[in-house]
Each structure stands twice: as structure tokens, then as C-alpha cells.
Amino acid sequence: MRDEILSRGVTRRAVLGGMAGVAALSLAGRAAAAAGGEAPALAELVKGGKLPPLADRLPKKPMVVTPFEKVGTYGGTLRRGLRGSSDHNGILRMVGNQSLVRWNMEFTKVLPNLAERWEVNDDASQFTFHLIEGARWSDGHPFTADDIVFAIEDCVKNSELYSATPAQLSVAGKAVNVEKIDDFTVKFTFAAANALYLENLATPLGQHPTLFPKHYCSQFLPKYNSNIAEDVKKAGVSSWPELFRARCGDIEIPSRWGNPDKPTLDPWVIKEPYSGGATRVVMTRNPYFWQVDTEGNQLPYIDELNFSISQDVESLMLNVISGKIDIQERHISVLANKPTLSQNMKKGDYRLLTLVPSTSQQCQIYFNMTHKDPAMRKMFVDKSVRQALSLGINRQEVIDIVYFGQSQGYQAGPRPEHPWYHEKLARQFTEYDPDKAGALLDKAGYDKKDANGFRLRPDGQKVFFAVDVIPTLYPDLVDALELVKAHWAQIGVDMKVNTIERALYYTRGDDNAHDAQVWPGPGGLDPMLDPRDFFAFHPQGSRYAIPWALWYTSNGKKGEEPPESQKKRMKLFDDARSTADLDKRGAVMKQIFDIAADEFETVGLCLAVGGFGIIRNNLRNVPEKEPDSWSWPNPGPALPQQFTFTS
């Protein structure tokens, strides 16, 4: 995807070299205002006096998007599928990409978005954003610096709404300070260097600055509403934070898409909400959307989005094959589905979408090294036990049976094509050697066995643990673990594949009540954005030691103090993300990889396998190859607002 706004650099000096992009924006903005193209339905509303003219709805210098293939035509309903009542991020990935900045198509550079440019001071502790002047919320109210200050200072930093400031907005245990310079300039000041802030701001978790319109959401805060207690009572909820969440949502909760009254900056706005019992979610075009194409036509081209809600993947697949879905990769991107989808391309009138994984690992196994049971903790903390379990996995069998031979044994770390690839971290203990695995377990004190051949712990209990997995989200991991279960039985270790729903999975992890859990290992193409497998970085992600991660993110106030090896990596990572110099970052990250390789805390199965999806043949301006990542929330950064239908 190309656009008329050129990316600025991450330092003040780099900004000075990007002024050509500003000039291009100014010219394009004037051209857009003069051209005045808009959807026919909106033109009718203008004609009837029910909507202001286009020139009064667009910014002075709207963001100009160059369509991927061609200038589109207005009209149509784009159909996409959700699964069940907790698939809200399926909407976010399609619509919620309206942050201050965004990713380019290649997932290599941060581009302007609602901030048309920015400056960063020399030590990367201060970011000054210049907003697109004249952008409006979907109800026509101006979007200004006041909204950003409100969102952070009044909402995100409110301890009754957030138990802790989100990691993206906190450095050295201190929350960012956000101040208004003028109506369209806002300054973010961190307590220390935060050189990765622009990259984090481009991810879904960076959306807070543009999420809460002050003129609407302030009514749900006691600071601005002296009658809030009465409003809470009328709404039938227990507290004002509950009312705020219900009306204004948050980045990753269903209620973000459940209130048609809440103004947004998205290309489409809620018409039929995501609520309990709903069979679909419908969104209609935002008449105040702040982007135009190269001929000055206001985006989006497509009139409506229709998210049908299927209760299982089989129903979703049937909708795809029968031509009832226009674009889909979520939930159907399972290798077992690819032959079926390939064979039905003509019937469904679609083409295939190729997804390039940003993840490192298809299936990472996280043994709980902070287990509440001392005997289980002792076993999982023993590195030789983890090495033995790794050597006891026949990875080639897993790859051949579950992944159709389309992978290779892998532990963790950047993918082979990444410049920071680390051979030891990626490849150690990936060979299948059950004899060596058994010898390691014998030496570790698990040499005695019961009548069934399963090993016994020193306390006489059988070596047994459960591995939590979410079958509705990652069915391939269930199949892989069933094979691993058989492999481990051969070395005398009994394991249960514990299939549970996503909510329970998180609850068990958050309560430190799990033995082990699995998840696709991140950090393949974005090792600094999600380093959870290199040290205990994320309280929900580093599932081998969540209390250590809580200690890190709370600056020692919560959780459990980790060992020195972990603390050293935490300090190194803080150093790495305090510099904008990529070479220096790489050198520090190598030190982290070296230590992580020596500690060998997680066990991986195989390199992440590329995914796929479908695109209906009459849907155009859609890139047919794109990154697949939560940090690059596909297909959002491909700008669905410029997708268009052909007749």
C-alpha cells in the first residue's frame, strides 16, 4: 500500500528530511476538497439538508490513499465471518486501525495516520504529534488534542478504570504525561527513553489515544458528571467504571462494538451491535471519515460491513465455500482446510490470500516454572527436565502428520530470514533422541517407574501434568499435542491434553493455576514488539512465569521476584528499547538471545507455518499477500476502506 503521506523518521533530524511528504499532502488535500466525490447515499443526505456538504466534513488536508489497484466505485456490502460471542477482535482487525500512526504494508515502517507528522527528541523520551487539522468523529464533532489528553490523562491513567497504566504508555514504572500544545499538537513525555513507542503505537494496543471522544465519554466519568451515581442506577450497573466500559468500551472488549451511539474515527460505524444473542454485526459508512483517494473521493468505497456470527468453524467454512463470505482468513487458516478451499475456488468464486507469519513458533510449550505446587515447580525449574522433554518429541512426525511436511524443528527466536536469527536459540534440542531424554530424566531424580512404566517423582507421585490448549482457536495444536503425549509416554512421562475455552485458559494462567499451556510463539519478524519467549515480559503472554512478568511490569510491586538471569534480560531489554539505533538494539538483543538460549525456558515444536485466506473475485484493491500478526492486525493495515467491488 502506498499513500501520499510519507513516513517521518524517529528523530528530529529525520523529520527535517520528510517535508516533501507534507507538500504532497497539502496539494492532495486541496485537490480532494475541490473534487468533492462522495457516496451517492451521502450526497442524497446533503441534498436533503440532513448532512453538511463534503467540504465541511473533510479535514483541510485529508489523508490521501493511493488505491492498491485502481480508484474504486461506491457501493456494496462486504461479508465477513465471526465465531461466537467473543470474537470481537475479528472486528478490530478489519476496522480498528485508526490510531495516530499505522504500519506500512510490508510491516517494516511506521507511517502517519491521524498524526500527519511528528518529532522525537534525541533521547526518545518525548514525542510531539501534529494532528490532521479538521478530522471529525463520526457524529461530526471535531477531533483535537483535547480528545487525546482526555483519553490518556482522564481515562487510561484513572486507577478506577485501569489497575495499572498499559505497558505501551509506561516506562520505568511511570505513566506517560500527555499535554496539549495547541488544538492540533500534543506532546507525550515519558520518564525515560521509549524508542519503540512509535512501533507500539502502530499496534492494536496503541489505540488508546484515539479511542475515547471527550465530548461523549466524559459523561461517564465522575470528574465531568456530578450526577454519575444516578446514571449508574438508571443503567442498572454496579459502578461508574462498569457504565464507562459498557458505553465507551476498550481496545479488546466486545462492548467496543456494542454501542451505536459512541462516536468513532473508523471508516464504518456500528449499526447493528455486537451483543448477546446477536447473529450478525452490521456497520455502515462513516460520513465524516477523514481519508480520500487520489481523485478526492471520500473513503470508504464500500457501504456496509456484515459480520455473520457462526457458532463453529464448520459453519464458517460452508459459508466460504458457498460464496457467502467476501474476505476471510480468521478461523479458517488451518492447513487441514487448505485442500478443501483450493478445490472449491471456482464454486465459491474466490481466490486465495497468502499470509506470511510474523510468529516464530507454531506451538510453544510453556511449563509453569512458578507453579504453586512445590514438587511441580521443582520439576519444571530443572532445565535438564525441559531439555529431556524437548528431546523426547518426534518433531518430524508432528510436522508430517499435522503440518503436511511444511515446517522444520524450531525452538524460539527470530525466523531464519530475520537479521537477528540466533542458531542456538532456534535449533538446540530439536533432534529426536528418546534414549538421551531418558538418561537426563534418570539423572534428574525421576528414575523410578510405576507398573505402567510411568516415571515417579521423588515424593512417589506419578510424573503427570496437563497442557492447556484452546481447541476453537488453535485446533492444530490439539492434534500436535496428542502426538507429543504419545512421544512423552515412551519416555515415561504422562501428560493430559487439556482442551478448554479461551476465557478459562486465561483465568487459569492469570491465577497461576496451570501446569503448562501452549500458544504460537511470537517474535519471528517482530522480536522487540513481543519478546515474551526471551524473558518474562508479558503478564498474559509469558506463561512459563506469569508472576515474574507481573514483577517486571509493575516495577517490583506485584508478582514474584525473578532469578538474576531474568532480571539481567529485563534490564537489557529496557536498554534495547531506549535507543533508536537499530544496530545498537540488535547487539543488545543478541545478549538477550544468548542468555535465553542458555536458560532454555520454553520448548517449541516447529517453525510457524504460513497461513491463508480467501478473497471473492469481485472484491478488488486487496493485496493477495500480507503479514499475519496481532501487531500488524491483518487485514486492517491494508486499509479495507479502499477495498472495492467490481460488477
pLDDT digits (tens, 9 = 90+) for 518-565: 999 999 988 988 899 999 998 878 999 999 999 998 889 999 999 999
pLDDT digits (tens, 9 = 90+) for 380-389: 999 999 999 9
Tell me whether residue 245 is exposed, middle or buried, using C-beta atoms within 10 angstroms of its C-beta: 0 to 12, 13 to 18, 19 or more. Answer: middle
Dihedral sign for Cα atoms in the order 358, 360, 363, 368:
negative
Residue 48 Rama label (left phi>0; alpha psi -120 to 50; beta): alpha
pLDDT digits (tens, 9 = 90+) for 228-242: 999 999 999 999 999
Q: Which residue has the cell 439538508?
A: 49
Say how far apart CA 242 and CA 407 lie, in whole Å. 46
Cβ(110)–Cβ(201) below 8 Å:
yes
Mean pLDDT of 434-448: 98
Q: What is the pTM of this model?
A: 0.77
Say how far apart CA 290 and CA 596 lie, in whole Å. 45
pLDDT digits (tens, 9 = 90+) for 198-231: 999 999 999 999 999 999 999 999 999 999 999 9
pLDDT at residue 452, as a whole number: 96
Query: DSSP letters of 289-355?
Result: --EEETTSBBSP-SSEEEEEEESSHHHHHHHHHTT--SEE-TTT--GGGHHHHHHTHHHHTEEEEEE
pLDDT digits (tens, 9 = 90+) for 165-182: 998 899 888 999 999 999
pLDDT digits (tens, 9 = 90+) for 354-378: 998 999 999 999 999 999 999 999 9
Q: Is the pLDDT of residue 21 over 60?
A: no
Say how far apart CA 28 and CA 10 lie, in whole Å. 24
Q: Is the pLDDT of residue 506 over 60?
A: yes
Nearest to 494, CA basis, from 462, 518, 524, 523: 462
Range with lowest mean pLDDT among 508-512, 513-517, 567-571: 508-512
Banded pLDDT at 418 (limits 50, 70, 90): confident
pLDDT at residue 22, as a whole number: 33
Helices (H) and strands (E) in the chain, counts: 23, 26
pLDDT at residue 84, as a whole number: 87
Cα–Cα distances (Å) from 530 to 306, 420, 509, 538, in that order, read: 32, 14, 18, 8
pLDDT at residue 501, as a whole number: 94
